[in-house]
Structure 1
Amino acid sequence: MKIEEAARELKLAYIREHYTDYLKEATHRGLNLEEALNELLCEEVTQRRERSHQRRIKQAKFDQKKYLADFDDSVFDEYPRQQLCQLKTLDFIKRKENAILIGNPGTGKTHFSIGIGIEACLQGLSVQFVNAPNLIIQLKEAVTQSQFVRFKRRFESVDLVIIDELGYLSFDESGAELLFNLLSNRNDKGSIMLTTNLTFDRWQECFKDPTLTGALVDRLAYQANVIDMRGESYRIKQTSSWIDSMTDR
């Protein structure tokens, strides 16, 4: 069996595509067999990990790419800044705890949640990202197609579910009940990260039913990491700076 055939059967994609050029390079550099084999296998592992990371990020379905390195937490007070720092360790995912980010639009909730999600993907965890209005649409479609149980099982199987923009739109009765069912069954099976513009006492504006709202808050907020990110909007601040810069010209 030739090297290319063996590499294909063993699914060693990098070695299969590059072993010829690498063997020439190893000979030119005077590497012995052990050194050459070690380097080649290490590169195969590196490439496989990178493909795995990219596959997880793609499967997560982030609507944009945001990274923790670009997130400015200096605008927050010390306590929420410490809470955000603790979330960056991803230990809350390992403990299957929830995280709820509360703040007005433009304060970085979505940026931070996506940054956490991408970091989780890079550490080998599975993530699903969706904004709340789209999730309701997906749930209703799943029910119509008799796929709700399958949808719920897939929703429960990932390590971290990120639900963005809860509270920006209210739900009708069927949508609220479906979301309640989904989140209640997910709870304790894995972490949920929610971003919302509504404090808990206003969630009824979104879910309408006070009994359902109370039960959902009780489940999601119990031993959760609740972070108050209310403050001045990044986007408004950036727009004001841009306007000022144009005025000064």
Structure 2
Amino acid sequence: METNDNELITRYAKELKLGVIKNVLDDTVAEAEQNQWGYRRFLRDLLQREIEHRVENRKYQRIRKAGFPQMKYLQELVLEDLPSDTRNLLPELESMNFVKQGRNIVMYGNPGTGKTHTAIGLGIKACMEGFDVFFTTVPHLLTRVREAKNNKTLQLLETRFKKFDLVICDEMGYVSFDKEGAELLFNHLSLRAGSRSTIITTNLPFTRWEEIIKDKVLCSALVDRLCHKAFLLNMTGQSFRVRETQKMAEKLHE
């Protein structure tokens, strides 16, 4: 192939935003000549490499857009340290069937037992499998809803919120809500009920949600919406951080 042809192909690939083809052209030509590929096989191979690269890029774009506070993967979990509910259900949750079925997950238990890690890990897995994910803390979500209401952009926020395949709402129970806040949160989370998946992590059992949502009727309705056909994971156990501190102390005394 003449140099001029290479230059033209590079220019055309750049114009068409086919960055991979531009980069792998010479290697693919050499492989095609060595294996005596026909024109169709050569073109198919070039396009396949471009597509595979774009598919991988979209996975990491979804992860970036999800807004995870840190990258925590399911394979990093120490299964033996997880509460039995999570350990037993994790294979089913990893299948992502709960996302396909629009089912919720509610993880409840004391701090430091892996709720956020597990939720983020499932969120990253969902991104890798082609689902659109959004991560937020409950206090931050409520702040966004209040701001949207004040700015008269609530409908736009609700439309976006409903479209995510999976929403992760972390830290339910750390901040209490006034009546308006509880109503806004209830209405917003209800948008997804029965059709899209939501993961809730909370340090409070349901019997104590009235401590943060003072309206008993509203509290009961929110629990009912979130828990309908949901996976309920009791993650009460010894804190990872406490366990790590104990291990460090033991090493110092060895």
Task: Report if TM-score (shorter chain) is over 0.5.
Answer: yes
**Structure 2 CA distance for partners of 1:19 and 1:173, relative to 1, 3 Å:** same
Q: 1:111 & 1:36 partners in 2: Cα distance?
A: 44
Shift in Å, 1:13: 2.6
Contact in 2 for aligned 1:131/1:165 (Cα 8 Å): yes
Could you give the per-residue CA deviations for residues 208-230 of structure 1, whole angstroms, max 9, x where no partner exists?
21111001111111111111111
**Residue-pair matches, total:** 247
Selected match of 1:203 from 206, 209, 217: 209
Unpaired runs of 5+ in structure 2? Answer: none
Selected match of 1:102 from 102, 105, 108: 108
Selected match of 2:26 from 18, 21, 25: 21
Shift in Å, 1:66: 0.6
Kindly provide the amino acid, as one letter, of the partner of residue 66 in structure 2: A
The aligned residue for residue 231 of structure 2 is: 225
The aligned residue for residue 39 of structure 1 is: 45
**Which has the greater radius of gyration?**
2
Could you give the per-residue CA deviations for residues 108-136 of structure 1, whole angstroms, max 9, x where no partner exists?
00001000000000000000000111111
Kindly provide the amino acid, as one letter, of the partner of residue 27 in structure 2: Y
Kindly provide the amino acid, as one letter, of the partner of residue 102 in structure 1: Y
Q: 2:165 & 2:148 partners in 1: Cα distance?
A: 21
TM-score normalised by the chain length of structure 1? 0.91
Contact in 1 for aligned 2:106/2:232 (Cα 8 Å): yes
Q: Please report the RMSD computed on the Cα atoms of aligned residues, expressed in angstroms.
A: 2.1
The aligned residue for residue 124 of structure 2 is: 118
Shift in Å, 1:169: 1.5
Q: Among the aligned pairs, what percent are the same residue?
A: 39
Q: 1:174 & 1:20 partners in 2: Cα distance?
A: 60
Contact in 2 for aligned 1:129/1:162 (Cα 8 Å): yes
**Structure 2 CA distance for partners of 1:153 and 1:41, relative to 1, 3 Å:** same
Selected match of 1:186 from 188, 192, 209: 192
Q: 1:162 & 1:193 partners in 2: Cα distance?
A: 5
The aligned residue for residue 72 of structure 1 is: 78
Selected match of 1:159 from 162, 165, 172: 165
Q: Does 67-76 or 190-199 show the bigger shift?
A: 67-76
SS in 1 for 2:233: strand
The aligned residue for residue 237 of structure 1 is: 243
The aligned residue for residue 12 of structure 1 is: 18
Kindly provide the amino acid, as one letter, of the partner of residue 206 in structure 1: I
The aligned residue for residue 147 of structure 2 is: 141
Q: 1:210 & 1:90 partners in 2: Cα distance?
A: 33
Contact in 2 for aligned 1:26/1:36 (Cα 8 Å): no
Q: 2:48 & 2:133 partners in 1: Cα distance?
A: 27
Unpaired runs of 5+ in structure 1? Answer: none
Q: 1:24 & 1:79 partners in 2: Cα distance?
A: 54
Contact in 2 for aligned 1:160/1:193 (Cα 8 Å): yes
Q: 2:41 & 2:101 partners in 1: Cα distance?
A: 41
Q: 1:23 & 1:83 partners in 2: Cα distance?
A: 45
Shift in Å, 1:8: 4.5
The aligned residue for residue 89 of structure 1 is: 95
Q: 1:129 & 1:31 partners in 2: Cα distance?
A: 50
TM-score normalised by the chain length of structure 2? 0.89
Kindly provide the amino acid, as one letter, of the partner of residue 125 in structure 2: E
Contact in 2 for aligned 1:130/1:162 (Cα 8 Å): yes
**Structure 2 CA distance for partners of 1:79 and 1:169, relative to 1, 3 Å:** closer
SS in 2 for 1:227: strand
